[in-house]
Every structure is written in structure tokens, then in C-alpha cells.
A and B are shown apart, each in its own frame.
Chain A
Amino acid sequence: MAKVYNSAVIAAPASAVWALVRDFNALPQWTGFVAESRIEHNRAADQIGCIRNFSLKDGGRIRERLLALSDYDMSCTYAILESPMGVENYVATLRLIPVTDGDQTFAEWSAEFDAAPEREDQLVANIGRNVFAAALAALQRRFAGAR
């Protein structure tokens, strides 16, 4: 099993960051690499089990199911149903933790998945850099200078 872990500190209160990222259908609004997204079967974006169906700006399409969402823990866990990446048993969690010193936000994004052994390292590097780190950096930019 492969693991990916990325984290960053965002210069905004956790409640403000959470208000943005808790929306399972909002990837186009903040990630920078998602072109459009919809929730299948017209379900609510915070209904456990709902599926987001989104396309990347580079053309790939991904379907992901919401497994867990907690406003108390400010965390969101989901699984990939379909993607062009060639991963299986992919489960990821995005979580925010308040940094009380300076009223900032610690955001961590982790994933575990299975893949063909020879592709594992490349996938870990790509997901870490091009998905998680890129999205976290986008959050940092979005909230930079917000106060």
C-alpha cells in the first residue's frame, strides 16, 4: 500500500478555510486544476455517500465518493471510484486543525492506495506534488493577505 502525506499552514482562521473546503462539490472554486464538478443524482454535497464527478483542466475525469464528513473534526474522507491514474482502494482525507497561536490553519491531506508496484513511487510523487501540494498552495495564496 502506498501513502501520500502533505500539509501546509494557511494564514486564515480554520473556520474560514473549512467553510470553503467542506463543500464536496467546490473543487473548481479553490484547487486551480479542476475544470468543473457536479454531484451525481442531484444529492446534497454534504450527504455521506454522494459522488462528485469532475473533470481536470488537463482533460481527465474522476469520480469520488464521500465516505465521511465532520464539521466537528473539520475533516473529509473520500474514495476514488474511477480515475485515469490507475489506482485501487484509494482513500484520502483532508483535515484542518486550528493553530491557536496566530489563529491560523494547519491543513493536512493524506491518501492510501494500491497500484502496480513499478508505478507506485511515481504516483505518490505525482499525487503529492500535483494534487495535494498544489491545492494546499492554492489555499495559501487564496488566503494570503486576507487580513
Chain B
Amino acid sequence: MVDLRRSTVIDAPADAVWAILRDFNGHASWHPAVASSTLEDGAVGDQIGAVRAFRLTDGARIREQLLSHAAHEMAFSYCILEAAAPLRNYVASMRVRPVTSSGGCMVEWRATFDPPRAEKDRLIRFVQDEIIDAGLRALHGVASGAAPAKTAAPISNSGGQDTTAIILTRHGGPDVLQLQSVRAPEPGPGEVRIRQTAIGVNFIDVYCRRGSFNLVAPGGVLGMEAAGIVERIGPGVANVQPGDRIAYACAPPGAYTALRTMRAELLVKLPDFLNDTTAAALLLKGVTASFLLHEVHAVQPGETVLIHAAAGGVGQILCRWAKALGAAVIGVTSSDAKAAIARAVGCDHVIVSGTTDFAEAALRITAGRGVDVVYDAVGKDSFEGSLRALAPRGHLVSFGQASGDVGAQSIDRLASRSVTLSRPNYGHYTDTAARLQTQTARLFAALRAGHVVAERPTLYPLAEASRAHADLESRRTTGALVLMP
């Protein structure tokens, strides 16, 4: 067994040093090798059995459990539960002892473990130099006040950074959006501040602006989706660190800004092959397509799929991806120009809805059988036809209402074709880090395989958010719109 005992004398009162050390989750604030740390299951920092999950600056992830904690001895001990390095049977302890003759203190750090013979020297050097000695050195600076803690504890609202945001002055048309100066607060526990580089515009933003979704009150900021760089992390953030390229596509709204402080847990790290504008244009739509095609209705090879608004943002992704999954794809569009786009993104058949009854056309295309699944975000105008276009045991996936609410419907009529009706909500498929991870991993894999193609978005300066909204509502646009701070 390796038994490393290291100690140092610090010119600061024992109480002051213990105040730094006593929080089992506080090491991210003083240890230079710890990038971020969080306590699992809502534990607190002096709770026996608490597990801290943390990441080192080299990217390694470690989970450690608090074994003992004695305030009167100013001591605690812990063990490693999970680490990539083979630090078997790793138990460590820290203790602060007062030096009464000088008013300072001594800090002891001991670690015992059983390394594999071949890696013994390397692991001893690693633990002694990079964990224990580096930590003790850093404590000198932090405890004496010469060096600030790496991340300050929760900070008052007076801190923060000035920035600009698009403010919803009242509910209404595109002109209610105004660029104003705001302040992005310092990140609190579990929060990060992001320097945003690209902001996705989605139809849900229009619903929020009009007031048809009660998500943003006047004076608030719209937007569910953006990409950027993590600028600063608050205490307890483990999944990202400053400098990470990230994106998000989730509630609460507030993305139309250059700097944003928000919860860290639903951030997605971006793969190198995906640039920021593409990510901001794609993430929400791509994640939507991911759960629509794989979870709400798992599309099987040989099925016939009807996709409304096939040339729209989500529509294009649905068409390509459904085709890649082996389905026959029927796209519905509102114009001949959009029909050309629908064909280009993989539709086997395209119906232009303005001139044709799309349900009749779908039945004709399928020789009277109907389609296996309809993906319908049009809502009021298409619901009837979508039901008629389905084959027996078909599935209507209603995931939006661009033309208005579907309204009250009798479920009895679903029996005429044994129809299954789904009304999925984005939030319920992306509300945990694990669920979001499933969606984004699937999306990134599909991008790499070419099953999803990121079209070049139309870019607008952030200050011209009203124009972007006007263009989106006029249905002049195809593909995605992105605001550039």
C-alpha cells in the first residue's frame, strides 16, 4: 500500500483555513486541478456519505464519498468511488491543526491506495504532486488572501456584466421587440454565464411574442436556443467549464441576448465539426426530429410517412432523417418553390396543399391504403386531412399549431381507422441531462452520417430581431433563422 503524508504550515488562523476546507464540495474554489464539482442527490458539504462528482482540469472525472467529518478536530476523510486512474482502495484525509505559538496552522493531507505495480510510480507522482502538493500550495494563497478563490461564493446581484438583449416591450407584432441594455448577473450555484455567438429563432418565439404562449411577460427576453462559449461558472457546476463550446435548446426563454446567465445542467457540449451558427440553427429542430422519429413514433423501414411543412426548419430534417431510416416520404408544402426544396431533402412525393386536397393525394399515392404516420405541426388547417390520410392503425403525431389551435375534438372518430394520436411536448423529452444527452448523441451521429444535413441558416444581426420575426411569420423563409449578437 502506498501511504502519502504531506503537510504544510500556513500563516493563517486554523479557523480560517478550516472554513475553506470544511465544505466537501468546496475544492473547486481552491484546488487548481479541480475544474468543477457538484454534490450528488442534493447532499450538503458536511454530510457523511455525501458524494462529490468533479472534473479535473485535464478532463478526468472522479466521484468521491465523504467518510468522516469532525468539526472539533477540523478533519475529514473520504474515498474514491470512481476514477479512470487505477487508484484502488484510495482513502484520504485532511486535517487542520492550530500552531498556537504563531497563530498560524498546519494542514495535513494523507492518502493511501493500492496502485497496480506497473503504474505505481506514475500514480504516486500524480497524487503527490498534482493533487496534494498543488492543493496545499494553493491553500497558502487562498488562506492568506493573497490569491482570490477561483470562483467566488454566491455573489450579490450587484455584480455581473453589461450586455444588450432584445426586450419584449409588450405582447404583439414584430415591432414590440426592442434592443436594450441589460445586465447578465454573476453565475450563482449551478449556473453559468455564456458569451453567446449565435441565437436560433423558432416559431415558439413568435407564439411567446404574441402572447399565445404565456411564457414571457412584457419586459422579458424571448428565445429558447443559442450557441456560445462558457465564460464563467458558478459553484457546483460540473458538466462544463470556462472555454467550453456549448449550445442549448430549452426553457426558460431568454436567449435573445449577447451574454446570458442560466442553469448549466441542460447545456450541450458541441462537437468540433459543428459550428456555432449551425448549432444555433439546428439544435432545437434536430432534437425535436430526433424524438419524433425515434420515440414518439419509431419509424420503421418500409413505412410511409407524411410530413407537413416539409420545406420548413423541422420539416426538412424530418424528411431527410425519415428517408435515411428507410421510410417512403410524402412531403406537403404550401407552394411550388417549397415543393422543390422538399424534393431536394428526400421526399419521394410532394403535395402542394394550396391546390390539392393533401389527404386525397396521399391516399392516391398509397393506392388507397393511407400512410403509417403523419407528422403535423400545422394544426387547425391540417388536422382533419391528416386523420383522413392515415392507414388503419396509423399514427397522427400533432406537434405544433402554426395555423392555429386544433381545438376540441371527439376521440370517437379515431376508431374509424384505429388511429393513435400523440401530442408530444418538447420539454418532456429533454427535461433531464440524460434524456437530452440521448437526443443530442443521436442527432450528432445522424449529422456525421449525413442523415441530417445542416442547411446554411439566414443570419440577422441581434438588433434586427423584429425583421427576423416578420420574415418568419410571412412564411417567406425556408430553413433556419439565426440572430448574431
Per the bound structure, the CA–CA distance linking A102 and B108 in Å amounts to: 14
The answer to the question of A6 belonging to the interface, with a C-beta cut-off of 8 Å to chain B, is yes
Q: B8 and A99: CB pair below 8 A?
A: yes
The answer to the question of A81 belonging to the interface, with a C-beta cut-off of 8 Å to chain B, is no
Task: Give which listed residue, A99, A108, A133, contacts B9 with CB less than 8 A.
Answer: A99
Given A99-B106, A106-B106: A7 and B5 within 8 A (CB)?
A: no
The answer to the question of B410 belonging to the interface, with a C-beta cut-off of 8 Å to chain A, is no
Nearest CB to that of B109 among chain A residues?
A100
Q: Quote the shortest CB–CB distance from B455 to chain A (angstroms).
A: 60
Per the bound structure, the CA–CA distance linking A145 and B100 in Å amounts to: 21
The answer to the question of B6 belonging to the interface, with a C-beta cut-off of 8 Å to chain A, is yes
Q: A7 and B97: CB pair below 8 A?
A: yes
Given A9-B106, A106-B106: A100 and B100 within 8 A (CB)?
A: no
Q: For chain B residues 128-162, which have a beta carbon within 8 Å of chain A?
A: 133, 136
Q: Quote the shortest CB–CB distance from A8 to chain B (angstroms).
A: 4
Q: B7 and A98: CB pair below 8 A?
A: yes
Note all chain A residues with C-beta closer than 8 A to B9: 9, 99, 101-102, 104, 106
Note all chain B residues with C-beta closer than 8 A to A101: 6-9, 133, 136
Task: Give which listed residue, A100, A108, A137, contacts B8 with CB less than 8 A.
Answer: A100
Note all chain A residues with C-beta closer than 8 A to B8: 99-102
Q: B100 and A7: CB pair below 8 A?
A: yes
SS of A interface (majority) = strand
- Number of B interface residues, CB 8 Å? 16
The answer to the question of B101 belonging to the interface, with a C-beta cut-off of 8 Å to chain A, is yes
Interface centre among A98, A101, A102, A137 (most CB of B within 10 A): A101
Per the bound structure, the CA–CA distance linking A101 and B133 in Å amounts to: 9
Q: For chain A residues 127-145, which have a beta carbon within 8 Å of chain B?
A: 133, 136-137, 140
The answer to the question of A30 belonging to the interface, with a C-beta cut-off of 8 Å to chain B, is no
- Number of A interface residues, CB 8 Å? 18
Q: A133 and B5: CB pair below 8 A?
A: no
Per the bound structure, the CA–CA distance linking A106 and B95 in Å amounts to: 13
Q: For chain A residues 1-32, which have a beta carbon within 8 Å of chain B?
A: 5-9
User: How many A-B pairs fall under 8 Å by CB?
Assistant: 54
Per the bound structure, the CA–CA distance linking A97 and B107 in Å amounts to: 11
Per the bound structure, the CA–CA distance linking A135 and B133 in Å amounts to: 31
Note all chain A residues with C-beta closer than 8 A to B100: 5-8, 133
Q: Quote the shortest CB–CB distance from B127 to chain A (angstroms).
A: 13
Task: Give which listed residue, A98, A100, A106, A137, contacts B97 with CB less than 8 A.
Answer: A106
Q: Quote the shortest CB–CB distance from A40 to chain B (angstroms).
A: 32
Q: A106 and B5: CB pair below 8 A?
A: no
Q: B102 and A8: CB pair below 8 A?
A: yes
Q: B98 and A7: CB pair below 8 A?
A: yes
The answer to the question of B459 belonging to the interface, with a C-beta cut-off of 8 Å to chain A, is no
Per the bound structure, the CA–CA distance linking A7 and B104 in Å amounts to: 10
Per the bound structure, the CA–CA distance linking A49 and B399 in Å amounts to: 85
Nearest CB to that of A6 among chain B residues?
B100
The answer to the question of B99 belonging to the interface, with a C-beta cut-off of 8 Å to chain A, is yes
Nearest CB to that of B132 among chain A residues?
A100
Given A104-B9, A106-B7, A106-B9: A97 and B101 within 8 A (CB)?
A: no
Per the bound structure, the CA–CA distance linking A17 and B100 in Å amounts to: 18
Q: B101 and A100: CB pair below 8 A?
A: no
Note all chain A residues with C-beta closer than 8 A to B104: 9
Task: Give which listed residue, B7, B97, B102, B133, contacts A108 with CB less than 8 A.
Answer: B97
Task: Give which listed residue, B7, B98, B102, B133, contacts A97 with CB less than 8 A.
Answer: B7
Q: Quote the shortest CB–CB distance from B351 to chain A (angstroms).
A: 78
Per the bound structure, the CA–CA distance linking A108 and B6 in Å amounts to: 17
Per the bound structure, the CA–CA distance linking A108 and B101 in Å amounts to: 10
Per the bound structure, the CA–CA distance linking A97 and B97 in Å amounts to: 10
Nearest CB to that of B95 among chain A residues?
A97
Q: Quote the shortest CB–CB distance from A81 to chain B (angstroms).
A: 27
Per the bound structure, the CA–CA distance linking A45 and B100 in Å amounts to: 29
Per the bound structure, the CA–CA distance linking A8 and B41 in Å amounts to: 42
Per the bound structure, the CA–CA distance linking A43 and B195 in Å amounts to: 76
Q: A133 and B101: CB pair below 8 A?
A: yes
Per the bound structure, the CA–CA distance linking A8 and B104 in Å amounts to: 9
Per the bound structure, the CA–CA distance linking A6 and B98 in Å amounts to: 8
Note all chain B residues with C-beta closer than 8 A to A104: 9
Per the bound structure, the CA–CA distance linking A136 and B136 in Å amounts to: 25
Per the bound structure, the CA–CA distance linking A102 and B6 in Å amounts to: 11
Per the bound structure, the CA–CA distance linking A100 and B98 in Å amounts to: 17
Q: For chain B residues 1-49, which have a beta carbon within 8 Å of chain A?
A: 5-9
Note all chain A residues with C-beta closer than 8 A to B108: 97
Q: For chain B residues 384-425, which have a beta carbon within 8 Å of chain A?
A: none
Per the bound structure, the CA–CA distance linking A46 and B254 in Å amounts to: 74
B-contact 0/1 string along A86-107, CB 8 Å cutoff:
0000000000011111101010
Q: Quote the shortest CB–CB distance from B205 to chain A (angstroms).
A: 57
Note all chain A residues with C-beta closer than 8 A to B133: 101
Interface centre among B9, B101, B102, B108 (most CB of A within 10 A): B101
Per the bound structure, the CA–CA distance linking A102 and B106 in Å amounts to: 12
Q: A100 and B106: CB pair below 8 A?
A: no
Note all chain B residues with C-beta closer than 8 A to A106: 7, 9, 97, 99, 106
Per the bound structure, the CA–CA distance linking A80 and B437 in Å amounts to: 67
| Contact sample, A vs B, 17 pairs, CB 8 Å cutoff | A5-B100, A7-B98, A7-B100, A7-B101, A7-B106, A9-B106, A97-B106, A97-B108, A98-B5, A99-B106, A101-B9, A101-B136, A104-B9, A106-B7, A106-B97, A106-B99, A133-B100
Could you list 12 further interchain pairs (A-B, Cβ under 8 angstroms) beyond the known A7-B99, A9-B99?
Answer: A5-B100, A6-B100, A8-B99, A9-B9, A97-B97, A99-B7, A99-B9, A101-B133, A104-B9, A106-B97, A108-B97, A140-B101
Report, nearest first, the 7 A-B pairs whose CB atoms are least far apart: A101-B8, A8-B101, A106-B106, A100-B6, A99-B7, A6-B100, A7-B100
